Amino acid sequence: MKEFPKETIWQKKIHQFISDPSKVFKTTKGNRLQFLSPGKLNRNPGPDFLDVAILINSNVVICDCEFHIKASDWINHKHSSDPMYANVGLHIIFENDTELYEKFETLVIDSESLPEPKEEEPLTENEFIDTIDELQNYALLRLLRKTADARILANSMPLKDALNISIKNYLYKYLAKRHRPVYKNFDFDEFANGLTNSELFKFLIDIQNNEQFNITERFYTMMKTRIHNEGNHLRREILLNCVLPLALAIANEEQRIGLFVWFWSTPALNSYGILTTKFKNIPQNFIWQQQGMLEILYNFGKKSKISPQNFLKIGEVLNFFQIGNPPFPSSYNLSD
């Protein structure tokens, strides 16, 4: 039996389908699945999608993804003995007609639920990225990079000190780039003294103590509650760049899922002027889109492709992040 030609209508539809990071699925093994980045649509021999980033239960994994109409097509195409498919971590199918004794996860989807593929025009006016899908890779890289830094802090000192240093380091950079009168005489010591009784610190303590609560509601409360005399914009930046990474670094598995869901589904409060200028015709509808653009400016400054190599050092620090072959950690299974 022959493979479908690369870049078939199904391949395009599925790539668009898995490009929404807010959707949550369950695999045939009963594991929770969320697509953080759809990866690259492969026009050459090998898996249909390369370097797909998924959240499998509470673990972030970068792997390849293969699509077939039926599960048995994996056997018929003899992929198990083909080294090009050794990094497949997810198998997407329409019909689960046979059980595969493979290490990868399998996702069964309804072909009727797939959107009509859009002909995405190249972003010719933008010097940084070719497609909006690429932003998800950059957003994930930024979040995990900051979380790895936060994990190092959290492992070496009390949580209060880790938060204090994280915010202090961020504020020095933030205030150095802006010359707003309201922050001209910013007193960090006075700001830091208010952290102990702040909603931010209470949130992190509850994470550390494995408390159960609604993460989205707590983030909403933190966004609305002043620490000192900072404005809404600065407080939001502290949440994204300091509190969220620290929370991910110390969270248990269930909390980590909630934190990722918040990051990938929360609308942006407003647009960043510099991003509007630098990234023409690219929306800033969600926080993750803005974070992806900021990571491009921070780490690259010019058009560049992300590969698993960009994530290697992060994987040395974060035990919930993995590149490559399954099996994936399966200590946290969702019940039906």
Q: Among the listed ranges 83-92, 107-116, 117-126, which one has the minimum average pLDDT value? A: 117-126
Question: Token pair for residue 246?
Answer: 């620290």
Asked whether 176 and 183 are in contact (CB, 8 A), the reply is no
Distance of CA 48 to the CA centre of its chain: 21
Which pLDDT score is estimated for 278?
84
The residue ranges of every structural domain in the chain are 9-113, 134-318
Q: Which residue shows structure tokens 């504020």? A: 171
The continuous run of DSSP H or E covering 119 comes out as: none
Secondary structure (3-state) at 295: helix
Task: Write down the pTM of the prediction.
Answer: 0.85
Instruction: Give percent of the chain with pLDDT exceeding 90.
Output: 51
The per-residue DSSP string of 4-42 comes to: PPTT-HHHHHHHHHTT-TT--EE-TTS-EEEEEE--EE-
Neighbours of 335 (CB within 10 A): 4
**What is the number of alpha carbons within 13 Å of residue 315 lying toward its C-beta?**
13
Which pLDDT score is estimated for 336?
33
